[in-house]
């Protein structure tokens, strides 16, 4: 005898079928009643482009490169995110800020090139954790489909958040609930 694991188990009925059961029709009607019940049930479908499934508060989606309140890039190309990345999806090239570029970059060093390969990225969020400058966040959107592999290598232009000075609306939208998880939004 086997151990009883749950109280939901039912013994298999191996009795020979009686006449009514062998007629099969009644069981068919029963089955059809079940499918008819499902016909009127609430549908599980989410009509995607119009409706979207609500993400969890801690959903880790597409990365964004953050700016500060004046619209300057926060990234200093320290490379910690690339080191932390277990999938080796991040590459970057550093450059020195020139005279007159103070309104573009927050500190003296910045990322001239910053690429994330979304086909490699596993959205673990280690880059966000590693970043000392609050420069990279995982947003609440996912990577859209693309026809080519090279379309999945996101350049700095693709990743940068809209400028809060010139495009405050876009900035707020892209920011989403980042950093506000604890507020319960």
Partner 1 sequence: MYLLAIDWIFIIEKLVLIAAIVTLSMVVAMYATYGERKVAAFIQDRIGPNRAGPLGLLQPLADGGKLFFKEEIIPLASSKFLFILGPLLAMVTALLTSAVIPWGATMNIGNRQVPLQVADVNIGILYVFGVVSLGVYGIMLGGWASNNKFSLLAAIRGASQMVSYELAMGLSLIAVLMLTGSLQMSVIVGEQYNSVWNIVYQPIGFIIFFICALAETNRTPFDLPEAENELNFGYHQEYSSMKLGFYLFAEYINMFISGVIMATLYFGGYDIPFVNEVSLAQHIGENWVALLTFLTLMAKALFFVFVFMWIRWTIPRFRFDQLMHLGWKRLIPLALANMIITALVILWLKK
- Shortest spacing between CB 32 and partner 1, in angstroms: 5
Q: Which is nearer to partner 1, 35 or 166 (CB)?
A: 35
- Shortest spacing between CB 10 and partner 1, in angstroms: 21
165 is in an annotated binding site: no
CA count, 13 A, side-chain hemisphere, 110? 18
Distance between CA 43 and CA 46 in Å, rounded? Answer: 8
**Binding mask of the shown chain, residues 23 to 62, with x at each position contacting partner 1 by CB under 8 A:** --x--x--xx-xxx-xx-xxxxx-x---------------
115, β-bridge pairs = 91
Distance between CA 135 and CA 67 in Å, rounded? Answer: 7
Q: Which is nearer to partner 1, 49 or 184 (CB)?
A: 49
Length of the chain: 185
Distance between CA 91 and CA 78 in Å, rounded? Answer: 11
Known binding-site positions = 75, 78, 81, 85, 121, 124, 127, 131
Query: Site residues (CB under 8 A) for partner 1?
Result: 25, 28, 31-32, 34-36, 38-39, 41-45, 47
């Amino acid at each position: 005898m086997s151990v009883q694991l749950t109280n939901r188990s039912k013994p298999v009925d191996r009795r020979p079928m009686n006449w009514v059961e062998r007629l099969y029709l009644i069981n068919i009607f029963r089955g059809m009643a079940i499918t008819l019940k499902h016909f009127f049930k609430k549908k599980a479908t989410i009509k995607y482009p119009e409706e979207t499934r609500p993400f969890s508060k801690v959903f880790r989606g597409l990365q964004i490169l953050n700016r500060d309140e004046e619209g300057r890039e926060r990234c200093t190309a320290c490379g910690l995110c690339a080191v932390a990345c277990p999938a080796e999806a991040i590459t970057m090239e550093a450059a020195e800020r020139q005279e007159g570029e103070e309104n573009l970059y927050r500190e003296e060093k910045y990322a001239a090139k910053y690429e994330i390969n979304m086909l490699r990225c596993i959205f673990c969020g280690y880059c966000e954790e590693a970043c000392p400058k609050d420069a990279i966040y995982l947003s609440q959107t996912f990577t859209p489909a693309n026809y080519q592999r090279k379309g999945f290598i996101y350049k700095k232009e693709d990743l940068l958040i809209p400028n809060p000075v010139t495009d405050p609306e876009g900035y707020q939208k892209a920011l989403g609930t980042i950093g506000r998880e604890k507020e319960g939004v």
